């Protein structure tokens, strides 16, 4: 637990690392090695000794700052920021989706974590996404249907966190978003770009009326957009609390949309019964730090800690941060972490997830021993554990769209919120209800409930929460004080984005702005993904010489990072999106 921290010593360089470096040099000698990749220009940074906010949109950051200046807590500011993000960044998150939240109470020195993940309705069965022949449905057909919508969790979770750690009245926190929705806001570049790419929003009448002009063209960046329906929804939630969302007219509108074809998939009881959960933080050592995140039903924290725990067995500091040896190590550790993630992780209220075994230092050292210096291990196999109920689970590789949003807020008392929220793919299920979009998070479940006679940990079950990749994190130094808080959107790439940013800052001393802007190289136990348009592509030949299959991709992270250093905070927001860090 983060309120009982002990120092962690840096793992010494091991013989395996020496072998790795020598063999890397030999393995790459036959092919010309291009100059190493260079970091992109660092993201603008904000510094402050009082409070810090980093969100995906300037309007959301401004709303959070306004709440903090009124004496609000980090949780208060997070509620206000999320309400605004649901308006200006609806393609990524909103009250129709879910979230995971970490909260550090500086006074009590306690870390709490809150689970606001969506749940499957009680009618959901393991064959939810199978056709009549037992084959998986087309992903987009499933995602755009009512059966993809999970019971939203964000509002109930935010209310739970506010009851615990809020300072200002709940009703006051929604006013910035209500004012923007009523008066109008300029369409941000990220929203305009998402609208221009989308081919399916026009299917929904409310979405078509809101997101497109009278000629049927998507609103461009800078156009003034009003959303009075969203303002009315927020007024109801502000006055009546979360119950106003989960019961009454808003709930009935959600049910009408989800069950629009006459099939009763979700009921009033499903909505009324939803509960956010407080769960134990998941923490593990990395160098002299303790890294804390969320446990299942998200796979993010567990995979992050496995990757870092494997890399704990190597001394990365002497390596070139942008060179092939470092990138190879990180990619191989990620392969091993994703192999375990795909096999074992699901909602721990329904399946037995071997969290303790997966984080065991001896186990991770053995996994690190599989890494070869002269060649990639290729597709990694999951580890094996003694529990037969765990071994019976099958691996799952499910398509996971890359949308989501992350917030980091630090208030004047030193309390911290690190929260990741999502509606799943861009614009969720593409269904607008009372001014907000409904999620399509149930497509995060495995479409196949079993494979080769083995059950899938992440199979659909009534009341279950689908596996996520969201990875909100807070990192503590050897004295138990916050050192970093961060997270990112990006679907399954979130895990790699957060791991890479932490390694950049911890092992190589890069600033939050430089870490957020660094070119991405990721591996999810398949091809090694290199960010398109960056100098990381210069590593292609060296990585291919080691056996990596290299795939150039657009890797649009949205990292928001706050570092605590010498009594001040340094905040940065990923330059790939519209975000901004603000101090005060």
Catalytic positions, written as ranges: 404
Q: Is 275 exposed, middle or buried (0-12, 13-18, 19+ CB in 10 A)?
A: exposed
List 523's β-bridge partners, or say none. Answer: 528
Query: What's the maximum distance between 2 C-alpha atoms anywhere in the chain?
Result: 69
DSSP string for residues in 450-468 = EETTEEETTB--TTPPPPB
Category of 304 on φ-ψ map: left (φ > 0), alpha (ψ -120 to 50) or beta: alpha
User: Up-side HSE of residue 155: CA atoms within 13 Å toward CB?
Assistant: 29
Is the CB of residue 462 less than 8 Å from the CB of residue 474? Answer: no
- For residue 309, give the H/E element and its range: helix 300-311
Cα dist from 563 to 73, 77, 127, 574, whole Å: 19, 19, 45, 14
How far is Cα 339 from Cα 381, in angstroms, rounded to an integer?
Answer: 6
User: Tokens 């979405």 map to which residue?
Assistant: 207
> E strands within 265-388?
277-279, 282-286, 289-293
Nearest to 278 by CA among 414, 498, 109, 103: 103
Sequence-ordered list of residues with C-beta below 8 angstroms from that of 363, at least 6 positions apart, any chain:
357, 383
Show the 3-state SS of 208-253.
HHHHECCCCCECCCCCEECCHHHHHHHHHHHHHCCHHHHCCHHHHH
């Amino acid at each position: 637990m983060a309120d009982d921290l002990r120092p962690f010593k840096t793992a010494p360089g091991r013989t395996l690392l020496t072998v790795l470096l020598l063999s890397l040099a030999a393995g790459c000698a036959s092919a010309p090695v291009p100059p190493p990749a260079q970091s992109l220009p660092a993201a603008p940074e904000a510094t402050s000794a009082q409070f810090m906010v980093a969100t995906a949109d300037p309007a959301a950051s401004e709303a959070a700052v306004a709440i903090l200046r009124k004496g609000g807590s980090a949780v208060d500011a997070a509620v206000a920021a999320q309400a605004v993000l649901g308006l200006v960044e609806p393609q990524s998150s909103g009250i129709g989706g879910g979230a995971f939240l970490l909260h550090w109470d500086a006074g009590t020195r306690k870390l709490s974590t809150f689970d606001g993940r969506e749940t499957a309705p009680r009618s959901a069965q393991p064959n939810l996404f199978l056709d009549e022949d037992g084959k998986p449905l087309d992903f987009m057909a499933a995602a755009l249907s009512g059966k993809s919508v999970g019971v939203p969790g964000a509002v109930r979770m935010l209310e739970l966190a506010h009851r615990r750690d809020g300072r200002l009245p709940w009703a006051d926190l929604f006013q910035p978003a209500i004012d923007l929705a009523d008066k109008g806001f300029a369409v941000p570049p990220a929203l305009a770009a998402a609208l221009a790419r989308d081919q399916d929003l026009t299917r929904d009448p409310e979405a078509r009326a809101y997101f497109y002009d009278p000629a049927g063209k998507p609103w461009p960046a800078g156009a003034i957009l009003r959303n009075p329906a969203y303002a009315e929804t927020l007024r109801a939630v502000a006055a009546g609390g979360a119950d106003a969302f989960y019961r009454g007219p808003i709930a009935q509108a959600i049910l009408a949309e989800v069950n629009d074809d006459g099939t009763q998939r979700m009921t009033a009881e499903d909505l009324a019964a939803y509960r956010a959960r407080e769960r134990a933080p998941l923490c593990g050592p990395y160098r002299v730090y303790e890294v804390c995140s969320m446990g299942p039903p998200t796979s993010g924290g567990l995979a992050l800690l496995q990757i870092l725990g494997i890399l704990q067995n190597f001394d990365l500091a002497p390596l070139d941060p942008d060179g092939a040896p470092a990138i190879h190590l990180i990619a191989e550790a990620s392969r091993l972490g994703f192999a375990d993630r795909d096999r074992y992780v699901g909602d721990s209220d329904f399946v037995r997830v071997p969290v303790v075994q997966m984080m065991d230092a001896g186990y991770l050292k053995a996994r690190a021993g599989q890494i070869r210096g002269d060649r990639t291990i290729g597709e990694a196999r999951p580890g094996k554990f003694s529990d037969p109920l765990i071994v019976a689970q099958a691996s799952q590789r499910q398509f996971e769209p890359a949308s989501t949003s992350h917030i980091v807020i630090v208030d004047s008392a030193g309390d911290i919120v690190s929260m990741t929220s999502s509606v799943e793919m861009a614009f969720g299920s593409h269904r607008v209800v009372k001014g907000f979009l409904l999620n399509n998070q149930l497509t995060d479940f495995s479409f196949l409930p079993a494979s080769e006679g083995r059950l899938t940990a992440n199979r659909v079950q009534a009341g279950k929460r689908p596996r996520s990749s969201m990875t909100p994190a807070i990192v503590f130094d050897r004295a138990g004080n916050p050192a970093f808080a961060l997270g990112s959107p990006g679907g399954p790439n979130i895990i790699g984005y957060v791991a890479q940013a932490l390694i950049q800052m911890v092992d190589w001393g890069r600033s939050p702005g430089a870490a957020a802007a660094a070119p991405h190289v990721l591996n999810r136990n398949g091809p090694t993904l290199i960010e398109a348009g960056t100098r990381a592509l210069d590593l292609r030949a060296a990585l291919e010489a080691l056996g990596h299959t290299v795939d150039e991709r657009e890797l649009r992270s949205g990292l928001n990072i706050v570092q605590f250093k010498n009594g001040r905070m340094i905040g940065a927001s990923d330059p790939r999106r519209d975000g901004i860090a603000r101090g005060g």
